């Protein structure tokens, strides 16, 4: 595994998700402590859950001091930016979220493959690293987790895990190509509103189905 590209993906994902969590906190009118807490949870929550499931020490989190510093700097900048700049960023939120998803999904898959886990564990590691922080963020913000009801999201993280777990991507250039592919697929699903099949048990919807039949 290329250590340099691994570090790059960690930094990209940390910045993207830390800022995402900070912006959600500001939307919910949290104070500055809430901004930092939600940003850190978004950036590192998925990795903590992944470590628990694939047998890595959770304490490894405390060895990532440089990533904590990067996250703090990113959140501080976001907190101090003029509101109009943040609103502009919000219009591009899906793109930055896709960057974080791709970076962390690849990072999680690389962790699992290095530990010689089976493909099933690689898929779970990629998915949880990619979407875990966002789920925790939304729950703490009192929102329904968007990653479970919005356009196709977790599937792209699992696709990254499959590609790495099957050994289709090895070199730095391969991983960068996969990174771009996952971002592109995520943005296409946002643009065209691709969704997985769903079924509603909402009483109003059931009545509509009944009247339609």
pLDDT tens by residue, 143-201: 888 777 666 778 889 999 999 988 888 788 888 899 999 999 988 988 887 777 777 77
Q: Can you say whether residue 142 is alpha, beta or left, with left for phi > 0 and alpha for psi between -120 and 50 degrees? A: left
Q: Which of 146, 140, 147, 144 is nearest to 30 (CA)?
A: 140
Which pLDDT band holds residue 103 (cuts at 50, 70, 90)?
Answer: confident
- Would you say 134 and 104 are in contact if contact means Cβ atoms under 8 Å apart? no
User: Which pLDDT score, from 0 to 100, does residue 2 have?
Assistant: 47
Task: Quote the pLDDT of residue 49.
Answer: 82
Q: What is the pLDDT of residues 135-156, one digit of tens each?
A: 888 888 888 887 776 667 788 8
pTM, whole model, 2 decimals?
0.79
- Long-range contacts of the stretch 51-60 (C-beta < 8 A, 24+): 53/121, 53/124, 53/125, 53/128, 54/111, 54/112, 54/115, 54/117, 54/121, 54/124, 54/125, 55/115, 56/111, 56/115
For residue 206, the model assigns a pLDDT of 57
pLDDT in the model for residue 5: 67
58 has pLDDT over 90: no
């Amino acid at each position: 595994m290329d250590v340099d590209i691994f570090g790059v993906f960690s930094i990209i994902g940390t910045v993207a998700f830390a800022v995402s969590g900070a912006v959600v906190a500001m939307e919910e009118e949290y104070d500055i402590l809430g901004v930092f807490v939600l940003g850190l949870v978004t950036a590192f929550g998925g990795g903590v859950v992944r470590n628990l499931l694939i047998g890595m020490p959770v304490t490894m989190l405390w060895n990532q001091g440089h990533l904590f510093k990067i996250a703090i700097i990113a959140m501080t900048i976001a907190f101090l930016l003029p509101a109009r700049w943040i609103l502009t960023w919000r219009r591009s939120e899906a793109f930055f979220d896709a960057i974080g998803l791709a970076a962390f999904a690849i990072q999680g898959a690389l962790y699992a493959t290095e530990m010689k886990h089976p493909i099933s564990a690689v898929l779970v590691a990629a998915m949880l690293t990619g979407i875990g922080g966002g789920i925790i963020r939304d729950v703490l913000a009192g929102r329904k987790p968007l990653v479970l009801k919005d356009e196709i999201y977790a599937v792209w993280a699992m696709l990254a895990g499959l590609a790495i777990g099957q050994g289709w991507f090895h070199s730095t250039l391969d991983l960068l190509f996969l990174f771009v592919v996952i971002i592109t697929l995520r943005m296409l699903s946002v643009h065209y509103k691709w969704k997985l099949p769903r079924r509603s048990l909402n009483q109003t919807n059931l009545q509509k189905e009944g009247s339609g039949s």
